[in-house]
Amino acid sequence: MTTRIDVPPNTMIADLDAGLRELLLAQLGRHGFDDIDVVFETPTSEWAGQLTRPTVNLFLCDLRKSTRPGQSGPEGGRDGGRASERPPAMRIDCIFAITAWSKAVADEHRLLSQVLGVLYAFPVLDGHLGARLNDGSQRFSILASVGEQRPEQRADFWRSVGGVYKPALDYVVTLAVESGHVVQRGPDVRSMALRATLAEHPRGGVQELAHVGGVVRDEDGRPVADAWVAVPSLARLATSDAGGRFRLPRVPPGTHEVRVRDRDGHEASVELSVPGEPLDVTLPAQAARST
């Protein structure tokens, strides 16, 4: 067993900034807010004094481990022909304080109102943040919520950045961070032979039984979880795990019919030979129909 640190490239916060900027500019432009800026600056007094046109500022004020549920356990896979395992992805809350800036307070309120409407309309940001976050790097849906409460007092926040107190929207976007920690194991042990003495033949009667393992996959090669794997003639039943793996216990030698069915009704029937190779099953795309 070996451990490897292979940290994947990660620009998710910068990609989130770019995606939110494009989303807000496009949606605000539809309602007449054309000549505005969307920035990600620290809202200090010095910064505010340099503004020349209406501006929406999304200040990333905190990053925290999310309380949203993630994976229940480590993820298994194959790496160079060897079984590998990596910790589950960690979900992170990106917390923004969003403010609107203009010469007139009434204009600020109009702009902030429209920003609130836009953000509230997109609780799920999948497909709305540009190609960099739509490339499969995010394991979970990108979720967002507006109006969240931060534990610190708002006045303390503005004092800490040296700015003047202003109304702000608290906006939280939840992203996923993949682990670069990979544990490589040896080849999977997917079968085991047991030899049991028969009580009715104590002088030499031995029956050899096998624990038979395998993997259930769909037609695209992805593992299928929670599939039923049954040997009806032996009353043996197993269920595949998150990696599609299963194990049928105490199967006697011979040829047996194995029936596999997933939660969506896709079915397959295969032949199992004991002793023999591990049983890998591919489910068809269409559910089997009874005749």
Mean pLDDT, to the nearest integer, of 189-196? 53
For the CA atoms of 183, 189, 190, 196, the dihedral, rounded to the nearest 10 degrees, stands at -150
In this prediction, residue 168 carries a pLDDT of: 87
User: What CATH code would you report for 188-282?
Assistant: 2.60.40.1120
* Omega before 87 within 30 of 0, i.e. cis: no
Q: For the segment 218-239, what is each residue's pLDDT rounded down to a tens digit? A: 888 888 988 999 988 888 888 8
Mean pLDDT, to the nearest integer, of 34-60? 92
Q: For the segment 138-152, what is each residue's pLDDT rounded down to a tens digit? A: 888 999 999 876 655
Instruction: Name the one residue in this structure whose structure tokens are 């620009």.
Output: 11
More confident residue, 185 or 224: 224
Residue 113 has pLDDT above 90, yes or no: yes
In 3D space, the residue among 61, 44, 86 whose CA is nearest the CA of residue 185 turns out to be 86
Helix (H) / strand (E) element for 39: namely strand 37-39
Output the CA–CA distances (angstroms, integers) from residue 47 to 65, 265, 277, in the order listed. 30, 60, 69
Whole-model pTM: value is 0.60
Upper half-sphere CA count for residue 86 (Cβ side, 13 Å): 17
In this prediction, residue 29 carries a pLDDT of: 93
Do 40 and 22 form a contact (C-beta atoms < 8 A)?
Answer: no
- The domain spans of the chain are 2-183, 188-282
